[in-house]
Amino acid sequence: MRIETFELERRQSVWENIVDYNLTESGFHPYTMSELLSESQIEQLKDIRIGYGQTNGSKELRTAISSLYPGANLENVSVTNGSAESNFLSVWSVLEPNDELLLMLPNYMQIWGIARSFGVNVKPFHLKEELQWQPDLDEIKSLVSEKTKMIAVCNPNNPTGSILTKKAMEEIVEIANEADAWILSDEVYRGAEISGLETPSFYGLYKKVIAVSGLSKAYSLPGLRMGWLVSTEKIAEKAWSYKDYTTIATGALNQQIATWVLSSNIRLQILERNRKMLKENLVILTDWLDNLKSLFRFIPPQAAAIVFLKYNFDMNSTKLTTKLRDEKSLLIIAGDCFGMDGYLRIGIGSEKEYLIEGLKLFQEGLEEILK
């Protein structure tokens, strides 16, 4: 089996720890253990035996996760090493060669690459800038065929930060129901809404839904590598059995920390801190862009620590970001990584001073490139 290069992750994996300023991070500034946990909890971690534990997640953790999804219980949950593993297991568990997958674009392109490597026919439908990054529902309907097995969405969306309207969610459910197709909903940014109103999950709106999330983005804890999928008991169990071939289990210490985070007021404290950070950093970016209106336009994100910028000059996005990396030691994600040249994704979940310095370098680079 051959698999195409996952360009976004390759560029980040190679360069993010080498450059001076990394504005590709799509989550929020991560916590330290002492910032996140009490001294008592840190002490308790010392006594945890580092064995395999329950490989689909402890009962306590799965119960805490299920409480975030109306109507779910712990049997609907399978815990994974990050939401990336959940996406992988979901595609692997449900789709067969020659099935059709309708995939929202732009999107985190992991599902695109995995499905294509499995021999699945991936048919994109698009969020439209002129629709405020909402989908053209007629386009989705036009793509459905008797082979349509799954519709994959990312809500809130990476890279635009948009949130599907209630009407769009309802119509996607109706389209899936008529096709008897699964909805795979990447909801890893749920909880990172500027408004403070948490985005509804697709789980519970329709019987054939797989909702994927984790602690990496909205919760600022990417290093824990804690993810999950929530679906029917049959799919949760099937994904767990497939996990025997991937990572087998998540870390015992990580599971305990995740349980504390999701079953206590720590969760609300994290989300409140991150929404405050997002609001403040969005003002910084907006003020910076006010001086560069002839070069950029953007629709402010409704959620997620990312902004998707359209630039108004003639240069390939990979060439542009490569020059910024090589000449300014600044890493930014090219729109090419989402199949949308002419755009850039900038992470705004960092500490304020870090973002300001990164934007200064960006402006210096632009002035030199466009002089």
The full DSSP string for 263-316 is TSTHHHHHHHHHHHHHHHHHHHHHHHHHTTTTTEEEPPPSBSSEEEEEE-SS--
CA angle 37, 222, 265 (to 5 degrees): 35
List the structure tokens of 347.
């992470």
User: What is the CB neighbour count within 10 angstroms for residue 282?
Assistant: 17
**Averaged pLDDT of the chain:** 96
Name the percent of the chain lying above pLDDT 90: 94
Question: pLDDT band at residue 7, thresholds of 50, 70 and 90?
Answer: confident
* Phi, psi angles (nearest 5°) of residue 214: 175, -175
- Residues 198 and 191: their CA atoms lie apart, in Å, by 5
β-partners of residue 124 are 103
Cβ distance 360 to 354 under 8 Å? no
Helical (H) or strand (E) element with 81:
strand 77-81
Cβ distance 355 to 124 under 8 Å? no
Contacts of 264 (CB under 8 A, 6+ apart): none
**DSSP, res 131:** G
pTM value? 0.96
Q: Is the pLDDT of residue 239 over 90?
A: yes
- Residues 85 and 94: their CA atoms lie apart, in Å, by 14
Three-class secondary structure of residue 87 per DSSP: helix
- Residues 81 and 91: their CA atoms lie apart, in Å, by 16
Question: pLDDT band at residue 227, thresholds of 50, 70 and 90?
Answer: very high
* Phi, psi angles (nearest 5°) of residue 282: -65, -35
Crossing angle for the helix pair 82-94 and 110-117, nearest 10 degrees? 30
Question: pLDDT band at residue 371, thresholds of 50, 70 and 90?
Answer: confident
Q: Is the pLDDT of residue 2 over 90?
A: no
The alpha carbon of residue 54 and the mean position of all alpha carbons in its chain are separated, in whole angstroms, by: 26
CA angle 33, 39, 42 (to 5 degrees): 55
β-partners of residue 193 are 303
- Residues 54 and 50: their CA atoms lie apart, in Å, by 12
Q: Quick one: average pLDDT of 14-21?
A: 92
pLDDT of residue 80: 98
Contacts of 286 (CB under 8 A, 6+ apart): 300
Q: Please write the tens of the pLDDT for every residue from 75-123.
A: 999 999 999 999 999 999 999 999 999 999 999 999 999 999 999 999 9
List the structure tokens of 91.
């595609």
Question: pLDDT band at residue 1, thresholds of 50, 70 and 90?
Answer: confident
pLDDT of residue 104: 97
pLDDT of residue 252: 96
List the structure tokens of 27.
């989550």
pLDDT of residue 124: 97
Contacts of 298 (CB under 8 A, 6+ apart): 289, 307, 308, 309, 310
Greatest Cα pair distance in the chain: 61
- Residues 44 and 246: their CA atoms lie apart, in Å, by 29
CA dist 344 → 59, 79, 114, 177, 316 (Å):
41, 32, 24, 35, 10
Q: Please write the tens of the pLDDT for every residue from 289-345.
A: 998 888 999 999 999 999 999 999 999 999 999 999 999 999 999 999 999 999 999
What domains are defined for the chain? 7-32+267-370 (3.90.1150.10), 49-266 (3.40.640.10)
